[in-house]
Amino acid sequence: MSFASGGGGSATLGVISNQSGNGGNITFNAGGKGAGTTLGSNGAILFGTKNGTGGSFVTRMSIWEQYVYIDLLNISNTLNVGNNTNVKGNLTCNSNAIIGGTLNVSNNVVIYGNLSVKRAFYYGYDNSTQTNCGTTCANIMNISNNDDNLHYGITVKENQNLTFDSTGVYICDVSPEFYAGVGLASDVGFWYQKNGVDVPWSNSRYTLDLGKYEAPTIPFAFEIRTPATDNVRFMWMSGNANTLLYSSGVLTLPNRPSVPAVIINCRKSSEVI
pLDDT bucket at 269, cuts 50 / 70 / 90: very high
User: What's the structural domain count of the chain?
Assistant: 2
Answer yes or no: do 95 and 133 share one domain.
no
pLDDT in tens, 116-147: 778 899 999 999 999 999 999 999 999 987 66
pLDDT at 149: 79
Least confident residue range of 33-47, 116-130, 151-165, 251-265: 33-47
Least confident residue range of 34-38, 136-140, 204-208, 260-264: 34-38
Q: Which one of 62, 97, 117 terminates a domain? A: 117
Q: What are the C-alpha distances in Å from 186 to residues 60, 205, 258? A: 60, 10, 26
**C-alpha to C-alpha distance for 86 and 104, rounded to whole angstroms:** 5
How long a stretch of residues is the chain? 273
Report if residue 41 sits inside a domain.
yes
Report if residue 2 sits inside a domain.
no
Q: What is the mean pLDDT of the chain?
A: 77
Answer yes or no: do 134 and 242 share one domain.
yes
pLDDT at 58: 44
Return the higher-pLDDT residue of 74 and 221: 221
Answer yes or no: do 151 and 20 share one domain.
no
pLDDT score of 75 more than 60: yes
Answer yes or no: do 142 and 154 share one domain.
yes
Answer yes or no: do 83 and 149 share one domain.
no
243: domain CATH number is 2.60.120.40
pLDDT bucket at 4, cuts 50 / 70 / 90: very low
Answer yes or no: do 133 and 262 share one domain.
yes
Sheet holding 121-126, edge to edge: 145-152, 121-126, 262-270, 168-176, 218-224
Tell me the residue range of the domain where 63 lies: 8-117
Report if residue 80 sits inside a domain.
yes
Answer yes or no: do 248 and 134 share one domain.
yes
> For the chain, what percent of residues have pLDDT higher than 70?
70
Report if residue 37 sits inside a domain.
yes
Answer yes or no: do 133 and 264 share one domain.
yes
Report if residue 1 sits inside a domain.
no
Answer yes or no: do 108 and 126 share one domain.
no
Least confident residue range of 33-47, 77-91, 111-125: 33-47
Report if residue 85 sits inside a domain.
yes
pLDDT at 73: 67
Sheet holding 102-105, edge to edge: 68-70, 84-87, 102-105
Q: Which one of 86, 117, 148 terminates a domain? A: 117
Answer yes or no: do 172 and 255 share one domain.
yes
Task: List, as one string, the DSSP characters of the chain.
Answer: ----STTEEE-SS-EEEESTTS-EEE-SSTTSS---EEE-TTS-EEE--TT-----HHHHHTTT-SSEEES-EEESS-EEE-SEEEESS-EEESS-EEESSEEEESS-EEESS-EEE---EEEEEE-S-EE---TT-PEEPP--EEEEEEEEBEEEETTTEEEESS-EEEEEEEEE-EE-SSS--EEEEEEEEETTEEPTT----EEE-TT-EE---EEEEEEES-TTT-EEEEEEEESSTT-EE--B--BTTTTB--B-SEEEEEEEEE---
pLDDT at 55: 47
Q: Which one of 117, 137, 171 terminates a domain? A: 117
